[in-house]
Amino acid sequence: MSDLNSVNDETLVAFLDGELSDEQTTHIERLLESDGTLGNRLETLKATWNLLGELPEEAPNPQLAQSTMEMVALSEVNRPVGWLPWLQRHRWLIGGCLCFAALLIGAGVGRTATALFTGQLLSDLPTIAEYRSLQHIDSIEWLEKLATLEDLPAAVGDSVPKVIGDGVIPEDFRDRRKWVRELQEIDKGRLDNNREQFGRDANKERLREISVAIQSAADGTELLATARAYSALLDAVGSRESQRIQSESDLQLRFATVEQRVVRMLTARYASEMTPADKAAMLEWLDWLQWDGENFDVFQSSNDPDQLVFQELLYRDADESLITNVHTDELIRNDERLSTRARRLLSTIDDQQQLRAAIGFWVFSVISPQSDALEPVSFERLRAQFDKLRQEDRDLLELMPEDKARRELTRQLGVAEPMLNNTP
C-alpha cells in the first residue's frame, strides 16, 4: 500500500506521457497489475476533468475589485476589536480570495486531468485505431488460430476495413501526437468515431491486452491483417450469422464454421474469376451431362438444357434431381477436367447442398450471355476443325443442335485433344 501512496498524480501523468525511465515505468505497471487502486485514481481524475469541462464559464464581476478596495479603506478608518467582527466586515474580501484560490486549484487539476486524458488516449491509440477489427477478437489464441486459415484474406478481398492513416502506430508518445495531428480529416473523423465506440465497450481491458500482444508478437502485422479480414467476413455473413459464429465457445467448432464460410466465399468469387481453361471444362461437363444416356431425352426436349442443369443444381436435392452425386463427383474427381485449384475449392465443401449450389453458380457463370468462357471463333476456323475430325465424330456433331456443335468445336480449339470420343 505504501508503494501505491507514493505515486502522485504528476508521476501518473508522466507515466502516461512516456516520460518516466524504463525502471519507473516497469514499477508502475507492476502496481497497476497488482492493485486496482491506481486505476480508480485515474478514473476519478478523468471524471473530474469531464465535470470541469461541462461547467459554464462565468465572466468576472467588475464590481468585485472596487467593493473590495472600499472595504479595505473602511477598515483603516474604523478598525474593529477581535477577529470575529473583522471576519464579518471582510467576508466579501475573504470570499473573493477563497474563490480565486479555488480557481487556481481547479486550473491545476484541470491541467493535470487534461494531460492525463491525453496520455490515456495516446496509450490506447493502437487499440482505438484498429477497434473495428479488434472488437470481434475475444482472445489472442483465437486470433492466432484464425491466422492459420491462409485463404481468409483472399476470401474477403478488398472489403476489409480501411486502415487509419498508414496503419503503423509509432511507439513513442510524442510521435503518436504528431501521427494524429498529421492525419487527414476523414481519418481523424474515423479515429474519433472509434474512440467513442471503444469508450462504450465493456471489454476495453481485454482489447488492450490483445492489442499489446499483437504489438509484441513477431508476426504482429500478419495478425492485424487476419483481424481485419475476419471483421470483413463477419460483415459479409450478416449480423445473425455473425452472432452465431461468435457465440460458439469451442474454438475448434468455431474455426470449422469459419473455414467453411471461407471456402464458400472463395468458390463464389471464383465464379467471376474463372480461368478460360476451367470455363471450357465446365462447358465440357455440361455436354457430358446432357448426352448422358439416362437423361438424354429429358435434356434434348428442353428448350434450354443448360438452364435446366442450373435449376436442378440449385433447387433440387441430389436424390430427387437429374444431377446426382455421381455427376458432381465426376466433375470434382476427374483430374482431366477442372484445374487443381478449382477441384480443391469444391472438394473442401462439406455440405452437399452447398456444393451443388457452388457448382450451379459456376454453371451460370459460363452459360451467361456476358460470359467470356471461350473467345469467339470464325466460321472458317470451326469448319477447318470439323474437317480434321474422324468420320464418327463428325456424324455425332451433326446430330447436335447447332449451338452445341459450335461450342464443342470451339472447345476443341482450346484444348490439346478432341474429347468427342469420350462422350457416352
pLDDT digits (tens, 9 = 90+) for 383-392: 777 778 787 7
- 101: pLDDT strictly greater than 60: no
End-to-end CA distance of the chain: 87
- 349: pLDDT strictly greater than 80: yes
| Mean pLDDT for all residues in the chain | 75
Type of residue numbered 213: A
Supply the pLDDT for residue 293: 66
H-helix or E-strand spanning residue 54: helix 37-54
**More confident call, 9 vs 158:** 158
**More confident call, 387 vs 235:** 235
- 186: pLDDT strictly greater than 80: yes
Q: Characterize 299-318 residue by residue with b for buried, 16 or more Cβ atoms within 10 angstroms of its Cβ, and e for exposed.
A: beeeeebbebbbbbbbeeeb
- 108: pLDDT strictly greater than 60: no
Model pTM above 0.75: no
Supply the pLDDT for residue 414: 54
Supply the pLDDT for residue 129: 92
Q: Dihedral angle at the C-alpha atoms of 13, 39, 175, 23, nearest 10 degrees?
A: 70
Supply the pLDDT for residue 337: 85
Segment among 50-64, 251-265, 339-353, 370-384 with least mean pLDDT: 50-64
| Banded model confidence at residue 407, pLDDT cuts 50, 70, 90 | low
Give Cβ neighbours of residue 396 (< 8 Å, ≥ 6 apart): 420, 423
**More confident call, 300 vs 422:** 300
Supply the pLDDT for residue 148: 95
Q: Cα-flanking dihedrals φ and ψ of residue 249, to 5°?
A: -80, -25
The Cα 124–Cα 213 span in angstroms is 13
- 296: pLDDT strictly greater than 60: yes
The Cα 86–Cα 234 span in angstroms is 74
| Banded model confidence at residue 350, pLDDT cuts 50, 70, 90 | confident
C-alpha distances in Å from residue 86, one per residue of 98, 343, 399? 16, 99, 123
| Banded model confidence at residue 318, pLDDT cuts 50, 70, 90 | confident
| Banded model confidence at residue 95, pLDDT cuts 50, 70, 90 | low
- 136: pLDDT strictly greater than 90: yes
